[in-house]
Amino acid sequence: MAHVRNHALLLITLGSLVISTAMGLRHGFGLFMEPLSSELEWGRGVFAFALALQNLVWGLSQPFTGALADRFGAAKIIVVGGLLYALGLMFMSLSTSALGMTMSAGLLIGLGLSGTTFSVILGAVGRAVAPEKRSMAMGIVSAAGSFGQFAMLPGTLGLIEWLGWAAALMAMAAIATIIIPLGAMLRDTPSAKTAADLSLKDALNEAAGQKGFWLLCLGFFVCGFQVVFIAVHLPGYLFDKGLAVQVGTTVLALVGLFNIVGTYTAGWMGGIWSKPKLLTWLYLIRGVVITAFVYLPLSPISAYVFGIAMGLLWLSTVPLTNGIVASVFGVRHLSMLGGIVFLFHQLGSFMGVWLGGYFYDLTGNYDTVWQIAIVLSVVAAALHWFINEKPLERNTLTKATP
């Protein structure tokens, strides 16, 4: 028993370090939009499209990397993902064309993120801990990603101011290589297959037949739309409104800092109360926060308050959403099924970051996208209200809706 606990603790620690590094590096990409676009004389739409493609590639590849992690363990997937991540950052620093930026920031980093973030690592954690501790463990690892966002964002800004955007990306590539040895040490053991386990094909068919699975996917689309739009475009939005660039950096740092509290708390609450109902309230509150930020007078103080409030709600969806998948379908194919749900998150991310750049270049402001984000909060709240997290009874193939 002690060996099992020590293994779970080591896996949680290493997984937290990997996800903290991967998410911390990613969280600062929005800081590159203005200096990179200005120096290369691009509109914001070029860089926004590259990051939109990154999120799309990340999502599209996630079910496949998740399935490979379920079968072969997370370690190999994380090592390959870390290598692709570092190469993507290196080539991004050398890119001087839209195609180069799209292939590096979009394709390579998107593939790297799919192997070093939530679905792969949370799947490994879900298999390693007892069911009653699963939501809390996922909350801890997700909170580590938030800490990385908080800790690394000021450093990213400092690198840009000190070295310029290209050399800063090269330094970030060096940091990303840390993921490779961390992943190699993460000894995740795939769940032993039993006679009662479903095949990969049957697991896909089972999930596809559950209405609640698709409601969860659609709800996660909204999360992706909101958080990535804000992460990428908020610094530019605040700069356009006359606030110093340091204000935008501080706001994103506050998001990362308070997301530690919000994500950990969500994981803890998910072990006590209904996870779907918690998600309903989370999205409703998110809508209120965004509305207040957009329509009340803007100042550095109001921007900081927005960062704190959004931080509490930022990735709180992750342990709750993955916890529902684990509760309903079990952990045998958790990384793969979680990857499918995450695909919808990334489809939303693609739309959020791309529409932000598109409407900005079209109208000179972000008003339309803010309004879409508010409406989507209400939609997501309604979707989650009808999800049931009761485990499926496979012995009778009960048609209960998750």
pLDDT tens per residue, range 109-124: 999 999 998 778 877 8
Is pLDDT of 197 > 70?
no
pLDDT at 190: 63
- Secondary structure (H, E, C), 108-141: HHHHHHHCCCHHHHHHHHHHHCCHHHHHHHHHHH
Give per-residue pLDDT as tens, 81-90: 999 999 999 9
- Residue 392, φ and ψ in degrees, nearest 5: -70, 145
**How far apart (Å, rounded) are the C-alpha atoms in residues 88 and 107?**
8
Q: Residue 192's CB: how many other CB atoms inside 10 A? A: 7
Is pLDDT of 260 > 60?
yes
Q: Please state the rounded mean pLDDT for residues 242-269.
A: 84
Nearest residue to 36 (alpha-carbon basis) of 24, 27, 48: 48
Nearest residue to 88 (alpha-carbon basis) of 48, 62, 57, 123: 57
pLDDT at 248: 84
Q: Please state the rounded mean pLDDT for residues 144-157.
A: 78
Maximal C-alpha separation, the chain: 63
Q: Which two tokens stand for residue 47?
A: 């860089």
Q: Please state the rounded mean pLDDT for residues 357-384.
A: 90
- Residue 44, φ and ψ in degrees, nearest 5: -65, -20
pLDDT at 401: 42
Q: Which two tokens stand for residue 304?
A: 């900081």
Among 35-44, 61-70, 220-229, 282-291, name the one with the lowest average pLDDT.
35-44
Q: Please state the rounded mean pLDDT for residues 241-252.
A: 83
Helix (H) or strand (E) holding 247: helix 245-270
Q: Which residues contact 93 (CB under 8 A, 6 or more apart)?
A: 165, 166, 167, 168, 169, 170, 173
> What percent helix, strand, coil does the chain show, rounded to 5?
80, 0, 20
Nearest residue to 384 (alpha-carbon basis) of 276, 278, 259, 289: 276
Residues 146, 259: contact at Cβ < 8 Å?
yes
Average pLDDT, the chain: 84
